């Protein structure tokens, strides 16, 4: 196939894919899409699937950028509060712990706190990747928290 013919075919395929997505968004069935764009039902399904995968990848990349931006904002907030928290400001300590919890959720970690429930302050903070913690480890941690009277920061 010469380059000009190949470019024309590529353009036609791109146009068909775009039209297929528009029709699917409008509620068309795969059979209707196939008839409208002049391809088989299987090809219409493939077009939709490939375009949806591209959209998913684009959305994931955008979400990644937004997560990174949120993490940077939280880091700036933590930096602003840290000195006061270290010097004993209960309000700043509370805010720092909330920032730690929020940051962990965004980053996909679980924050588990153990401490004096009556005083409302943790003595230990555990941050673990949720997907790296085994069921047995979760069970052990939960049992330890019940035994020690500890609280979960989530």
Tell me if 139 sits within 8 A of 102, measured CB to CB. Answer: no
Residue-wise pLDDT tens digits, 122-153: 555 555 555 556 667 667 766 666 665 544 44
The continuous run of DSSP H or E covering 44 comes out as helix 41-86
Tell me if 9 sits within 8 A of 1, measured CB to CB. Answer: yes
Query: Rounded mean pLDDT of 10-39?
Result: 92
Residue-wise pLDDT tens digits, 67-111: 899 999 999 999 999 999 999 999 999 999 899 888 888 877 765
Q: Domain spans of the chain? A: 3-107, 108-154
Report the chain's mean pLDDT, rounded to a whole number. 80
Question: Residues 32-44, buried b or exposed e (16+ Cβ, 10 A)?
Answer: ebbeebebeeebb
Q: What number of residues does the chain have?
A: 154
Tell me if 124 sits within 8 A of 72, measured CB to CB. Answer: no
Tell me if 20 sits within 8 A of 51, measured CB to CB. Answer: yes
The pair of structure tokens assigned to 104 is 């962990």
pLDDT of residue 15: 92
């Amino acid at each position: 196939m010469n380059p000009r013919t190949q470019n024309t075919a590529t353009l036609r395929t791109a146009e068909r894919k775009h039209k297929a997505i528009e029709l699917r968004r409008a509620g068309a069935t795969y059979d209707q899409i196939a008839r409208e764009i002049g391809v088989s039902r299987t090809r219409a399904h493939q077009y939709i699937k490939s375009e949806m995968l591209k959209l998913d990848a684009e959305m994931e990349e955008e979400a990644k950028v937004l997560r990174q931006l949120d993490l940077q904002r939280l880091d700036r907030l933590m930096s602003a509060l840290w000195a006061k928290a270290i010097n004993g400001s209960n309000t700043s300590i509370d805010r720092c712990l909330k920032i730690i919890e929020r940051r962990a959720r965004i980053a996909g970690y679980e924050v588990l706190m153990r401490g004096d429930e009556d005083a409302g302050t943790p003595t230990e903070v555990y941050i673990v990747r949720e997907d790296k913690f085994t069921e047995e480890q979760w069970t052990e941690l939960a049992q330890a928290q019940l035994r020690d009277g500890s609280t979960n920061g989530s």
